[in-house]
Amino acid sequence: MDVLNVPWFSVVVGSVFVYFLYRRLWKVQSGLPLPPGPPPLPIVGNLLQLGGGKATEVMLALSQQYGPLMTLRLGTKTVMVVSSPAMAKEVLKTQDHNLAGRWVLQAAKTLDQHKSSIGWAEYGPHWKKLRRISSTELMTSRRLQALQHLRSEEIFRTVRLIFEERGKRVNISHTVFYTGLNLLGKMIFSASVFDPNNPESMEFKDAFSLSMKLAGTPNVADFFPFLAFLDPQRLCRQMAINFRKVHKFLDVYIQDRVAKRGKNVEQNKDADKDFLDVLLDFSGPDLTIKDIRALIFELFMAGSDTSATTIEWAMAELIRNPHTMKRVQEELDQVVGHNRRVEESDIDQLPYLHAAVKEVFRLHPPIPLLVPHQAENSCEVAGYSIPKNSKIMVNVWAIGRDPTVWEEPLKFIPERFLEGDKSKIEYKGQDFELLPFGAGRRICMGLPLAHKMVHLVLAALAHSFDWALPDGLPSEKLDMSDELGAALKKAQELTAIPTPRLPHHLY
């Protein structure tokens, strides 16, 4: 039977009618209007406008016409788009208690993954427990410091592999992604998880990568939820196949550890525990093995793909701006020298490197619209009503390009963070001009780890090698176009040729 012949059209028209009736009644009852926005078309709303280009760019253009707090109608969903630091502060700080819910996308609901997810779980007691364990047991300075040697070992294993194949092209994104997987594997399981010679390892890597790709694919069922059971694009079906492969791989490590603990095998001291041991210490009715697996899956997603994307953008900007690369390397030479490798303890003494990373986050935020929020309660922002269950998207990509906030916003200028009024800006959720990890209750749990990984990997690559584009391509010709998916990636993956710049025994 042709889906178009069933009465979906009547259902859609009815849904749209109910929405506009609700919108009118809300305005009457609250005395406040919704934020302004472009007139929606029947049924589809403003979806066709977003389909004409990258969502970040289209939303930026619309916000310049309708303001930094704007209403869009995306199918049956009412979406508020935030495009300025002031509005971001209102939404993520002042009204955080009302707007800390989640718009859970259909892909995240696959196999009920969202119910055990810190990123996607509904705001409530279970989410608070997951978040508390993460912030007080996993992402503490003490825990991360105890696992510092694992990060250094894995990063310099990568440096050694690059050195051994010197003269060959290096795919920065792939190299850093594999490094991130193994680094997280060491921190979570005390084991490397990526081995190109292991079929199970390759299946995990492929399924994991495809899951990230599917998660970034626009899904019509997110905007017309009554179509979810049909899964019209087969995205959730494909997602389930890949989730099961990832779960199967992770379960081997989890069940093996559970079995060893059950046999009273001597446990590590608290300071030496990996993330899995910590999570199993809290296991019980409120933290099931399913919850633990979902948290581990989320740690891999947050720590590998987005960090690899950020490092690829950083290397692209440094190669494209040789004077910036030179200054980064001069700072490293001054602090670290040429007789040893850069260590994590050096990072705090590298202010220009920090400035360069901030500039990368400003121009290339890994999640440019953040993970969407949902209003748990109706509230008022800037004189406008935000109805309960409306969705909120924060366009941090647009905020990073706002000419009223940033001088010469399209240029890569790390120096802006070393002097003047921008010198004290950080990206830890308190400065709303720079929000790559979000802010408030829903700030990214992996921020402390990502901060360490990005800086150390970038420092190691810049300190260990000089980099040039293949085929003698001038640095200014490097393609910097992007594509929007689960993360903001380079449209063309960065490949570069390394030349060692340290004594060979250091590799």
At residue 468, the 3 state secondary structure works out as strand
Query: Taking a C-beta distance cutoff of 8 angstroms, is the pair 390, 30 a contact?
Result: no
List the Cα angle 135/139/141 in 5-degree steps: 115
In this structure, what DSSP letter does residue 40 have? Answer: P
- The residue type of 137 is E
Tell me, rounded to whole angstroms, the distance of Cα 262 from its chain centroid: 36
At residue 185, the 3 state secondary structure works out as helix
Q: What is the DSSP string of 261-279?
A: HHTTPPPPPGGG--HHHHH
- The residue type of 358 is K
Tell me, rounded to whole angstroms, the distance of Cα 17 from its chain centroid: 36
Torsion, CA 461, CA 467, CA 471, CA 472, rounded to 10: 170
Q: What is the DSSP string of 330-386?
A: HHHHHHT-SSS---GGGGGG-HHHHHHHHHHHHHS-SSTT-SPEE-SS-EEETTEEE
State the Cα–Cα distance between residues 10 and 91, nearest whole angstrom. Answer: 35
Q: What is the DSSP string of 377-408?
A: S-EEETTEEE-TT-EEEE-HHHHTT-TTTSSS
Region for residue 45 given its phi and psi (left: phi exceeds 0; alpha: psi -120 to 50; beta: otherwise): left
State the Cα–Cα distance between residues 181 and 2, nearest whole angstrom. Answer: 44
For 156-179, letters b (16+ CB in 10 Å) and e give bebbeebbeeeeeebebbebbbbb
Q: What tokens were used for 178?
A: 């594999």
Q: Is 91 exposed, middle or buried (0-12, 13-18, 19+ CB in 10 A)?
A: buried
State the Cα–Cα distance between residues 480 and 261, nearest whole angstrom. Answer: 49
Q: Is 379 marked within a binding site?
A: no
Length of the chain: 507
Find the helix or strand (DSSP H, E) in which 153 lies: helix 148-164
Binding residues, by number, are 444
Binding residues for heme, by number, are 444
